[in-house]
């Protein structure tokens, strides 16, 4: 199983005020909040952690069949070189993230070595681009002007 999430940073800046009272406390664990607040760029750290949580949740949801996105119950750890992991109810999902100037994209897998076997296709302004469902992606994510498709090689 694969998971992925993409965040259009321009749209996120307009739609979400991560500095508003209670935002961080509602979504992030205490350790994640510290990671954000100590970061040189807390805005990017917020959306990196968010995309990691979303990507892992998509796998966990398919695995359990339970739709209950409670972001604070997903605990992220960031390792070096954009790799990390997310723990949900005793399950660990491994992540790899790509931070660009206009988007953040994270992929997730229950197996760390699978991260290198995932093909990623990201499209900008994907409206009416093509029938991407016919390509049978392992997971689909879209936000703002971006569409991200992932496939297991």
Domain of residue 24, residue span: 3-152
Q: What is the pLDDT of residues 16-57, one digit of tens each?
A: 889 999 999 999 999 999 999 999 999 999 999 999 999 999
Quote the CA–CA distance of 80 and 103 in Å, as a whole number: 19
pLDDT of residue 125: 78
- Among residues 81, 95, 88, 12, the alpha carbon closest in space to that of 49 is found at 95
CATH number, domain with residue 113: 3.90.470.20
User: Per mean pLDDT, which range of 9-13, 59-63, 78-82, 91-95 is the poorest?
Assistant: 78-82
Biggest CA pair distance of the chain: 43
CA 143 to chain centroid: 11
Question: Count of domains in the chain?
Answer: 1
Please give the model's pTM, rounded to 2 decimal places. Answer: 0.94
pLDDT of residue 64: 83
* Residue % of the chain over a pLDDT of 70: 97
Q: How far is CA 84 from CA 45, 66, 78, in A?
A: 13, 24, 4
């Amino acid at each position: 199983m694969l998971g992925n999430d993409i965040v259009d940073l321009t749209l996120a800046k307009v739609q979400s005020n991560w500095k508003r009272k209670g935002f961080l406390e509602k979504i992030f664990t205490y350790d994640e909040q510290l990671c954000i607040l100590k970061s040189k760029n807390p805005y990017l750290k917020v959306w990196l952690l968010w995309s990691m949580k979303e990507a892992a949740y998509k796998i966990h949801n398919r695995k359990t069949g339970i739709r209950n996105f409670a972001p604070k119950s997903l605990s992220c750890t960031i390792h070096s070189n954009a790799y990390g992991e997310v723990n949900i109810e005793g399950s660990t999902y491994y992540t790899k993230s790509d931070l660009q100037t206009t988007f953040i994209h994270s992929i997730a897998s229950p197996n760390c070595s699978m991260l290198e076997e995932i093909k990623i296709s990201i499209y900008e302004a994907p409206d009416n681009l093509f029938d991407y469902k016919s390509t049978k992606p392992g997971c689909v994510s879209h936000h703002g002007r971006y569409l991200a498709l992932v496939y297991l090689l």
